[in-house]
Amino acid sequence: MSALDSLYQQMILEHAKSRYGADLPADAPAVPGQPGTGQSHQLNPVCGDEITLQVQLDGGSVQAVRWHGEGCAISMASASVLSELAEGKSPAELLQVMDAFRTVMRSRGKTAPDEDLLGDAAAFAGVSRYPARVKCAMLSWVAAEDALRQAVSTA
Amino acid sequence: MPVSLPPELQKPGGAVLTNAEVLRIRNDFPILHQQVNDHPLVYLDSGATSQSPSSVLEAEQEYYEQRNAAVHRGAHTLAVEATDAFEDARATVAGFIGAAENEIIWTGNATGGLNLLAYAFSNASTGPVPGTAGRFALGPGDEVLVTEMEHHANLIPWQELCRRTGATLRYIPISDDGTLRLEEAERLITGRTKVLSFTHASNVLGVINPVEVLVALARAAGALVVLDACQSVPHLPVNVKDLDVDFAVFSGHKMLGPTGIGVVYGRQELLNTLPPFLTGGSMITRVTMEQAEYLPAPQRFEAGTQPISQAVALAAAVRYLGETGMERISAWEAELGQRLVRGLSGLDGVRVLGPGTGQERIGLAAFDVAGVHAHDVGQYLDSQGIAVRVGHHCAQPLHRRLGLVSSTRASTYLYNTTDEVDQLVEAVGNVRGYFGATDGVR
């Protein structure tokens, strides 16, 4: 596998196109105002990429992660994988996944991902060797962590 | 361009550059001879930062090895030699753009230069500074005019100046082909316009703006003219007197020089009545505990220790450009620019921003690849050793006007060959296939 292919794994390219959860209306109100729902907008000032992401809790677990955004294959695939992965998890479980993802992304390729915990998100381990692209992969996760904390506090 | 270099910097009888001569030029640039990701480096990001020839690197090292000392103070031999080197550099850079020595102010970078001007106007607006002129003061009812294609460095300082003074910021819009709408310029430049600040050549569109037309409109309205020359001075013959602008700003690291140095040109009679921006050591005549009097330009704008080795190295860069010949460089880059546009716009799903094939542009092209984000385009090209710029290129409003968030930009310089342009075009032609975007879905 070439270095480029290890960055753009087939899993990533497929998620970049399918964009699971990318059905949040572009005009979604900034503060959803519903109990158990949190929303966060994040911007990567380097490239102008942005994402608005909503976490909806129901009965102590994540019912849905919905988002809309504009960005590169890495950032769009990352949001897609995250949305799929988060469904059904408790806030504590999701935070554990987020910690593990962040640790891998900061490792510059030195930390092997825990595939049981990270699932499809383990495919992003290759991104950690490209420091300029780590922010792309992290954009939706930063938004999700912020939205999750809001959701928990209003549940 | 109706401008010319001073005779001492003209290359006598220089024929147009050829690939053979560019290959010889490349030998002067050590950094270009390396492998990146197992491919020979193809450096097409000179619009962001150019590379330096050995003569520039050696000039900076020689300064530190032989002459380093504080300038304009101290009576010892090294201090005198350092001061001579520093002021000789100023004379060299002044000559390169047809200015007088005392019309050249060193700054940290071009952004620093534009902020120097905006804050000097600001200082003139908040109260009379002794020995300065009221014509730089702005207030409610006054207007600052820029264009829709400006780099953030020539936009935000003016936004902030207007916020502080109550003046109004307006902008000249562009047409879909990236050229300025001159009928709008005519309408917008009025007696209320105190400052017109615009880019000579766009860092995204590649267009060269009609300086003569805009200066004539500004003169008729009594407005001061600031020229962002960051993408013109490195690539085109520029004579600030022929252009008749009041101020011009450019950057060292985009013209074969080091980082950490920028240049502000200002007409002498203006500089000597413009309030200072940064104040402190080295810019004063007499200081009491209550107040200070200032030196004439350029020293009044050069508070604190200056970028001395950078100035010496920038002068070496200017000599290199002058010896090669700016007319020849600009002609070669125009050819590369046309080759870029022709090649890229011939690719399926690739949209070149700005003027089309055959229309005047500098040697750069920014483009959008349908269905593939600029970051991914840049990553793909980097895997083949091709260095380009991706993102909004510090021009978010311009990208928004063009319906984009970001783009990919290839920018050439005197050391790029036609082969390198062709390699870029070929690689861009494979990008959509790699990312599965050939179905045109966005």
pLDDT digits (tens, 9 = 90+) for B289-319: 999 999 999 999 999 999 999 999 999 999 9
The class level of CATH for B7-53+325-434 reads alpha beta
- What pLDDT, on a 0 to 100 scale, did the predictor assign at position A90? 97
Give which of B235, B210, B186 is closest to B334, Cα–Cα.
B235
Distance CA B265, CA A44 (A): 35
Considering the candidates B218, B236, B394, B402, report the single residue annotated as catalytic: B394
pLDDT at B4 over 60: no
A38 lies in which domain range? 3-154
B394 is catalytic: yes
- What pLDDT, on a 0 to 100 scale, did the predictor assign at position A47? 74
Beta-carbon separation of A3 and B374 below 8 A = no
pLDDT digits (tens, 9 = 90+) for B98-154: 999 999 999 999 999 999 999 999 999 998 777 777 789 999 999 999 999 999 999
Local confidence band at B3 (pLDDT 50, 70, 90 cut-offs)? very low
Which chain B residue is nearest to residue A13, measuring alpha carbons? B435
Beta-carbon separation of A4 and B379 below 8 A = yes
Considering chain B, tell me which residue range(s) the CATH 3.40.640.10 domain(s) occupy: 57-322
Smallest CA–CA distance, residue B442 to chain A, in Å, is: 9
Q: List all residues of chain A from 123 to 142 with a beta carbon under 8 Å from chain B.
A: 130, 133, 136
- What pLDDT, on a 0 to 100 scale, did the predictor assign at position A32? 62
- What pLDDT, on a 0 to 100 scale, did the predictor assign at position B70? 94
pLDDT digits (tens, 9 = 90+) for A65-104: 999 998 999 999 999 999 999 999 999 999 999 999 999 9
Distance CA B398, CA A27 (A): 23
Stretch B34-54: mean pLDDT: 98
pLDDT at B1 over 50: no
Stretch A2-17: mean pLDDT: 93
State if pTM tops 0.80.
yes
Domain B57-322, CATH 3.40.640.10 — does that match?
yes
Residues B46, B412 contacting (CB under 8 angstroms): yes
Q: Which of A3, A17, A136 sits opposite B37 (nearest CB)?
A: A3
Considering chain B, tell me which residue range(s) the CATH 3.90.1150.10 domain(s) occupy: 7-53+325-434
Beta-carbon separation of B405 and A8 below 8 A = no
Non-local CB neighbours of A105 within 8 Å, separated by 6+ positions: A124, A127, A128, A134, A137, A138
Local confidence band at B74 (pLDDT 50, 70, 90 cut-offs)? confident
Distance CA B41, CA B438 (A): 28
Q: What is the mean pLDDT of chain B?
A: 94
Decide: helix, strand or coil at residue A37.
Answer: strand
Distance CA A64, CA B36 (A): 43
The percentage of chain B sitting over the pLDDT mark of 70, rounded to a whole number, equals 96
Local confidence band at B253 (pLDDT 50, 70, 90 cut-offs)? very high
ipTM: 0.91
The total number of structural domains in chain A stands at 1
Beta-carbon separation of B376 and A73 below 8 A = yes
Q: What CATH number did the domain enclosing A12 receive?
A: 3.90.1010.10
